[in-house]
Amino acid sequence: MQEYAIEVKNVRKKFKAYEARRSGSFVHRLFRDKYYKRALRGVNFAVKRGEIVALLGRNGSGKSTLIKIMSGILYPDSGTVSVLGMNPWEERTKLAMQLGVVLGAHGQLYWNLPAMDTFALMQHIYHVPAKEFKERLNYLLGPLDLKDVYMRQVRTLSLGEQMKCNFVASVLHLPKLVILDEPTIGVDLPSKQALRNTILEMQRDYGTTFLITTHIVEDLTMADRIIVLDHGRKIYDGSRRRLEMLFGDKKVIELEFGRTVDLKKYLRFGSATKIEGNYVRLEVKQSVLKHPAFARLLANSAVADYSVLEPGLGDVLMKLYNKGGEKNVRKP
């Protein structure tokens, strides 16, 4: 069996777009200027079978374009892509039988019909035998807490219930690869946790490969690996722990004062990320914690309480974006 579920090599994609003119005469501004937006700029990575990979990036980083290429909806200007050993835009029909795709903003359920009707349709499209279909429904509906809702009209379901039903419809045929685009956006906490648990169970029980795009930091807890795109380029590929260690020389100090103090004495050791009343949040180098002068400040009677924290992953990602960012629009 091929080792990789996905192989992306030097993939590039640009789109022709138009921009309204902002100056000149009225007639001049009736016309538009053409330019090319480079969505992907030589992206390379591979995903092993059975791996859960989180694909991160700001809006406009190229994530959606890459997903469409891997799904066979778009084809690149250059480079090669192999998904489950197939060319996705040349073997799209064959690939679809082994691929599951969940697009957070675009559901496949029928609004005025029960979710079960969509499940039955998927059964016939993917030729799932009746016995296996029943077993898979039981496998998915229980953990996702859908047994009391899947026979109701979709329009009566909550957003979380709709998202979970969309997930079920996309994986009933037990695809080898599942691409999830913002699967937990706008979903309540219990539904998010249920989806995460089910993804981990499918990886364990069936060896399913997952590629997940998300802006929800908590979703990253289930990822074996993180890939970060920015302006069409890969700027990180590795574990969550390694990503946090890129900025590992930083610590966060939360200070709560019992009375007014001269903050300049504290700010000279780091940068304040939040000041609110008697509360101050400082980002400092790890070596500062051992500095005698800083230790004396913490021991000051004005300090009612303090805590030392690791920087949050969201903070780390923002630093990574700021470090690797650049413009992605080039006029011809």
Chain centre distance of CA 189: 17
In a domain, 192, yes or no: no
- pLDDT tier at 258, thresholds 50, 70, 90: confident
Question: What's the confidence (pLDDT) of residue 278?
Answer: 83
For 196-242, the pLDDT digits (tens) are: 999 999 999 999 999 999 877 778 889 999 999 998 999 999 988 78
Is the pLDDT score of 260 beyond 90? no
Is the pLDDT score of 329 beyond 60? no
Considering the domain architecture, whether residues 239 and 325 belong to the same structural domain is answered as yes
Is residue 252 a contact partner of residue 282, using CB atoms and an 8 Å limit?
Answer: yes
Other Cβ atoms within 10 Å of 191 Cβ, number: 21
User: Residue 114: which domain range?
Assistant: 107-174
Ramachandran angles phi, psi of 256, nearest 5°: -125, 120
In a domain, 65, yes or no: yes
Strands 279-285 and 250-257: antiparallel
Task: List the CATH number of the domain containing 45.
Answer: 3.40.50.300
- pLDDT tier at 324, thresholds 50, 70, 90: low
Is residue 274 a contact partner of residue 322, using CB atoms and an 8 Å limit?
Answer: no
- pLDDT tier at 332, thresholds 50, 70, 90: very low
- The total of structural domains in the chain comes to 3
Name the nearest CA neighbour of 13 among 91, 66, 72, 81.
Answer: 66
Question: What's the confidence (pLDDT) of residue 328?
Answer: 41
Name the nearest CA neighbour of 56 among 190, 144, 181.
Answer: 181
Q: What is the mean pLDDT of the chain?
A: 86
Task: List the CATH number of the domain containing 267.
Answer: 3.30.70
CA 187, 193, 197, 203 dihedral sign is: positive
Is the pLDDT score of 325 beyond 70? no
Considering the domain architecture, whether residues 206 and 325 belong to the same structural domain is answered as yes
For 126-183, the pLDDT digits (tens) are: 999 999 999 999 999 999 999 999 999 999 998 889 989 999 999 999 999 999 988 8
Question: What's the confidence (pLDDT) of residue 247?
Answer: 63
In a domain, 193, yes or no: no
Is residue 70 a contact partner of residue 164, using CB atoms and an 8 Å limit?
Answer: no
Considering the domain architecture, whether residues 215 and 168 belong to the same structural domain is answered as no
Q: Write the CB contacts of 5 (distance below 8 Å, at least 6 apart in sequence).
A: 47, 48, 49, 50, 51, 83, 84, 176, 177, 209
Name the nearest CA neighbour of 306 among 230, 251, 225.
Answer: 251
Considering the domain architecture, whether residues 151 and 230 belong to the same structural domain is answered as no
